Amino acid sequence: MAVIQANVAARQSTYQKSNNWWKRNRRKVAPYLFISPFFILFAVFGIYPILYSFELSFFKGFGFDKKTFFGLGNYIHMFQDPSYIIAVANTTKFALGSVFILSPLALLVALAINSRFVRWKGFFKTGLFFPVITSSVVIAIIFARVLDTNYGLLNTLLGWFHIPPIGWLTNTNVVMISLILLAIWTYLGINTLFWLAGLNGINKEFYEAASIDGANNWQSFWQITLPLLRPVTLFVIIQALIGSYNLFAEPLLLTNGGPSNASLTITLYVYNQGFRNFNVGYASAIAYSMTVILLVLSLINLKLFGGSNTNS
């Protein structure tokens, strides 16, 4: 430090006073300069909308110009609005499918890839990954053809096994399941990678120690692998939850939320209210209710899977 100060003092004499100030304080000022381009934009496009949306949720009216104060009216209507309730139910169904079907499935696949029986690990990791980098629009377009009732690839395939055509996108009972299956197809790859990253982080010594103690595969899986995967589990589940609530392009392009709201998701409903009906206040209220739901679910998950990275 003293050396630095001496150097600084030595240079002072060769610069004017304004430069002195700059040189002396640049270490203090620099960070503000560095963060300002980001923060100015962030304040305008990130923070302000969050606050404004909250304010909007207490107003009603068509568009942004004709607003009238409405108090809690939007929120009250929300809880009586069957479309809202269906949207929440659908999205939750979808989230459950993601968490309880997709994630464990991905874990199994990860275990399989990780095991010593499989050698082309890179090939499998890459092969399963394609859907993740594809836009949901493209996926929706492909699957509109695959899931078509009369001319779709899937029903044709089932037809070879003498299974009658299923209304994947037209049957109100089936459509949400179709979306879940589509989600499994899309996100199996990346969830597998998450689990693999977690598995790789487990120290092999644990297994060796356990086998010396006489534990078999099953026991070591339950007692070592799973507990040590807890931080990854937390991450995977929260990702799945957040992703579920963002489901938008597929229901929009495949079924437009139908038939009869059977595939209406929360984000699609926000879009409908906000950009089709321009009930911007109501749309904001719905979006905020979603935030609350997600927060609660995240906290629950934190309680279940949180805790430190230390071993049990």
Partner 1 sequence: MNKVDRRTFLKAAGGVAAGSLFFGGCGEAPAFNRGVKKTLNFWAFSDTRIIWQKYAFELYKKERNPDFEINWSIFPYAQMHDQILITSQAGTGGPDIADIEISQFARFIKGDIIFVDITQPLQQRGLMDKFYQASATNPWSWKGRVYGIGNELNTVLLSYRSDVWEKAKIQTPINTWDQFVEEAKRFHQDTGNYLIDFPFDDWASWWIMTQQQHRGFFNSQGQPILNDPINIQTLQFQKQGIKDGWATVRPPSASGQSYYATLSQGTVTSLMGPSWNFSGFIQENIPQTKGKWHLQALPAWPTPDGSRTATHGGTGVAVLKTGTNPEEALDFVLYEHTNVEALLHDFSVRQVWPTYKPAFADPRLSGPLDFFDNQRVGDLIKDLSPQINQWYNSPYWPETTNACTTFAITPAIQKSDVSAQQALDMAQSQTQSTINFETA
Partner 2 sequence: MADINLVTSDAEQANTTLSQRKRFSPYKVRFWTNSAVLNIVLIGLVLLTVIPFIYMIASAFKHNSEIFGTPITFFPAQPTLENMQALLTQFPFARWALNTAVVAVIGTATAVLLGSLAGFAFAKYNFRFKNILFIIMLTTLLIPYQVTIVPQFEIIRVLHWFNTYQALIVPRAVTAFGIFLMRQYTMTVPDELLDAARVDGSSEFGIWWRIVLPLVRPGLAVLGILSFTGLWNDFIWPLVVTTDPSMFVMNVGISSLVGPYDYQYGILLSGAALASLPVIIMFLFFQRQFLEGLTQGAVK
Contact residues for partner 1 (CB under 8 A)? 60, 62-66, 70, 73, 77, 80-83, 144, 148-151, 169-172, 255-256, 258-261, 275-276, 278-279, 282
Q: Which does 311 bind (CB under 5 to 8 A by kind): partner 2, partner 1, none?
A: none
**Peptide bond preceding 164: is omega within 30 degrees of 0, i.e. cis?**
no
Spatial CB neighbours of 177, under 8 Å, sequence gap ≥ 6: 97
Q: Which does 101 bind (CB under 5 to 8 A by kind): partner 1, partner 2, none?
A: none
**Minimum CB separation from partner 1 for residue 29, in Å?**
14
**Minimum CB separation from partner 1 for residue 148, in Å?**
5
Longest dimension (CA), the chain: 92
Number of C-beta neighbours around residue 32 at 10 A: 9
Binding mask 100-139 for partner 2 (x = CB under 8 A): ---------x-xxxxxxxx-x-xxxxxxxxxxxxxxxxx-
- When the beta carbons of 173 and 309 are compared against partner 2, the nearer one is 309
Considering only 69, 85, 163, 201, the residue that binds partner 2 (CB under 8 A) is 201
Q: Which does 69 bind (CB under 5 to 8 A by kind): partner 2, partner 1, none?
A: none
Q: How far apart are CA 176 and CA 88, in angstroms?
A: 12
Q: How far apart are CA 189 and CA 171, in angstroms?
A: 28
β-sheet bridge partners, residue 287: none
- From the list 287, 286, 282, the residue with the least C-alpha distance to 61 is 282
β-sheet bridge partners, residue 69: 59
Q: Which does 171 bind (CB under 5 to 8 A by kind): partner 2, partner 1, none?
A: partner 1
